[in-house]
Amino acid sequence: MSSPQLAAPPVAAANTRSRVILASLIGTSIEFYDFYVYGTAAVLVFPKLFFPDNTNPTVSLLSSFLIFGIAFIARPIGSIIFGHFGDRIGRKKTLVASLLTMGIATVLIGFLPTYAQIGIWAPLLLTVFRFAQGLGLGGEWSGAALLATENAPRGKRAIYGTFPQMGAPIGFILANGIFLVLSLAMSADAFAAWGWRVPFIISAVLVIVGLYVRFKLVETLAFQKVVERGEVAKVPVVRVFKSSWRPLILGTFIMLATYTLFYLMTTYTLTYGTTATTAATPGLGFSRTDFLIMLIVGVVFFGIFTLVSGPLAEKYGRRLTLIVTTIGILVFGLLFVPLFGGGFIGTMALLIIGFTLMGLTFGPMASVLPELFPANVRYTGSAISYNFASILGAAVAPFVAVALWAAAGGSPVLVGVYLSVMAAITLVALFLSKETRDVEYDNNLS
């Protein structure tokens, strides 16, 4: 591969606003759709199809969640791999590669035989494909965030940064909406036999659409300027750990509460909400269909407040916006028991409040994390921080939540405390960080 310095292109016109919005939004929507399809299936069907244990359903569920967490271990690896090429050869090509990696892995899960058909090979192959999903998403988010923010007009980076962030609620609604339609349109036996495969296979169509949009992009001006000046890092991961180790640590812990909140609000609440009240670890006993509808309603608030967070972060600063929101998350964790114990109204209130906080904390991250790093290691630095936080905040969250839930005899009290502790850690990181709203964005090199 020829050196980027020798093949430096002339600085071209920036992508249009509509192209930036569509390319950053559709890519992350597809990526998060793929990811959430697995998360939903990990609760609804995988424990029985890939981890059969008729004597202890909790063991099957925990096994499914362990493989759910495998992707979060893969994500930092993906962030290093795709971050390297994103900072070496450009954002556009790397974004295309990450989308293909994620999409192919998701489609293959849809064709995977179950434990009853191929025995132990079923969970082993599921682990491999789940790992590939994590690799793809490890490179996707940072590239999409840079596509949006490196093309943003001055004073609008946080607003443009909400475009890729909207992929999370859109992907969640798509994934769970399809699961919901399928569960309503077919019997439970048919859904378990083959219906669960449909959302995974549909991903192929979505990936084709996403690739078409991304091939229409031109490289960001910020990266072109790095190439022109001969400042492309030879080994971005070494450069970022050497020159930007403090932002790496702060960025990781700034994301901690966000990740913990999201995966508790989706995976754990679905588990607790649909578990029968007579089980060994009693839940709320909602039907799967009813609770998926409740989740989708909650995620609508996630999307709305993701968009609201952009103007707030521009007006009041990223740091203050996140400090206030994180205090809200800390208090919210202490309300888990009274809300979850309040029947339908209390549970719906918990979902709406939780997802509102999720939008307010998740929206600014696409501007905050990239702003911590110089232009020539921005892809690598923001990707590593984002994805290391996924291990600490998300990989273990569903597993820890189920364990704490069981330890408390079916009460979510310890789960709420766990969320509050993660929020307190994030608050410390925010207080140690500086405001990044006015950071120069296209010429600060390490």
Per-residue confidence (pLDDT) for residue 12, from 0 to 100: 46
Model pLDDT, residue 442 = 62
> What's the mean pLDDT when you consider all of the chain?
84
Could you tell me which residue, 201 or 188, shows the higher pLDDT?
Answer: 201
User: What pLDDT was estimated at residue 65?
Assistant: 66
Tokens 């490289």 found at: 219
* Domain residue extents for the chain: 17-432
Cα distances from 114 to residues 71, 183, 193, 391, in angstroms, run 20, 19, 10, 27
* Segment 7-33, tens digit of pLDDT: 444 444 567 777 888 888 887 888 778
CA distances from 445 to 242, 244, 434 (A): 13, 11, 18
State whether residue 59 is helix, strand or coil: helix
Q: 250: which 2 tokens?
A: 């702060």
Per residue in 38-48, pLDDT (tens digit) is: 777 877 778 78
SS3 230: coil
Give residue-wise pLDDT tens across range 238-290. Answer: 999 999 999 999 999 999 999 999 888 887 888 778 877 655 556 777 887 88
Tell me how many degrees the CA angle 352-60-106 measures, rounded to the nearest 5. 70
pLDDT of res. 319? 96
pLDDT per position as a tens digit, 416-431: 999 999 999 999 999 9
- CATH class as words, domain 17-432: mainly alpha
Give kind and range of the element (H or E) at residue 202. Answer: helix 198-215
Q: What would the pLDDT profile of 282-334 be if each residue is shown by its tens digit? A: 677 788 788 888 998 999 999 999 999 999 999 999 999 999 999 999 999 99
CA angle 318, 319, 323 (to 5 degrees): 120
Percent of the chain with pLDDT over 90: 33
Ramachandran sector of residue 320 (left: φ over 0; alpha: ψ -120 to 50; beta: rest)? alpha
The H-assigned helical ranges of 363-412 are 365-371, 378-390, 397-407
In whole angstroms, how far apart are CA 408 and each of 75, 413, 414? 31, 7, 7
Other Cβ atoms less than 10 A from the Cβ of 367: the count is 29
Which residue type is seen at 252?
T
